[in-house]
Amino acid sequence: MRTKVIYALSIFAALMLVRNLYVIFLGLPDEKDQGAIYRIIFFHVPSWFTSFAMFIVSGVASGLYLWKGRQRNDELAVAATEVGTVFVAIGLATGMIWARIIWGIWWTWDARLTWALITWLIYAGYLMLRRGIDDPTARARLSAVFNMFAFTSVMITYKAIEWWRTQHPAPVLTIRGADGLMDPLMERMLYLNWLPMLALAVVLVMIRMRQEGEQREIESLRRMAHAL
């Protein structure tokens, strides 16, 4: 059943991406100041949406693990965190390339960019922390607590463009209260391109969860072998 879901979501993501790329290149109007580079927004913003969604799932899964103690929740937390960090990397990389043209620099230490980098480093720290603890129960519990605190950084990154005056643009999307700042066709495409990215992320999380289960099985069999 899980394999069928993985295939179905992969096919959906691939078809949706092909359709979206066609519209992004040939259907959407040009932006008057930026030239072709503005089209990066259709991957830059959805990659951040996806990473935030993954970190929300991961935080909830960690909370559930601490509450119920079920291993599946820990597997979901680590899988969603790992996939979330991949999408943060995409957000940072596309943002830097866009910044090189629009601001004339690859990077600046403004509040939004700095917190985005801190968030990435914190979640990379979560993944490294897990590698450093051998006992599966202690590993799951400690990393779950760490994960709950790490989510603060996601919230600060999200709100940074409202709390501080930054080089990064203030909110331009309708869902964040900036009505009319963006062409409705372009904004619609942002959400439409989020769907395949989210589907891809779900596929990657499902594959990564299966691996985490296999890892747990290996550890359990090793303990049995030592006990014999």
Partner 1 sequence: MDARNFTYMFYGFAAVWVIVVVYVISLVMREGKLRRELDGVRRMLEDKEAKR
**Which member of 135, 162, 183, 217 binds partner 1 (CB under 8 A)?**
217
77 to 96: interface string for partner 1, x by CB under 8 A: ---------x--xx--xx--
For the segment 40-59, give every residue that binds partner 1 (CB under 8 A): 40, 43-44, 47
Smallest separation (angstroms) from partner 1 to the CB of 91:
10
| Contacts made by residues 175-179, CB under 8 angstroms, sequence distance 24+ | none
C-beta closer to partner 1: residue 124 or 148 = 124
Angle at 125 between CA 115 and CA 99, to 5 degrees: 35
CB atoms within 10 A of CB 190: 19
User: Would you state the structure tokens that stand for residue 104, as one six-digit string?
Assistant: 């004339």
Smallest separation (angstroms) from partner 1 to the CB of 82:
9
User: Would you state the structure tokens that stand for residue 77, as one six-digit string?
Assistant: 């937390």
The helix (H) or strand (E) run that includes residue 187 is: helix 184-227
For the segment 4-33, give every residue that binds partner 1 (CB under 8 A): 25-26, 30-31
Query: Residue 217 and residue 220: Cα distance in Å, rounded?
Result: 5
Please tell me whether residue 182 binds partner 1 under the rule CB under 8 A: no
C-beta closer to partner 1: residue 87 or 115 = 87
C-beta closer to partner 1: residue 152 or 211 = 211
C-beta closer to partner 1: residue 3 or 174 = 3
DSSP calls for 37-98? GGGGHHHHHHHHHHHHHHHHHHHHHHHHHHHH--HHHHHHHHHHHHHHHHHHHHHHHHHHHH
Q: Give the binding site for partner 1 (CB under 8 A).
A: 25-26, 30-31, 34-37, 39-40, 43-44, 47, 86, 89-90, 93-94, 97-98, 100-101, 200, 204, 207-208, 211, 214-215, 217-218, 221-222, 224-225, 228
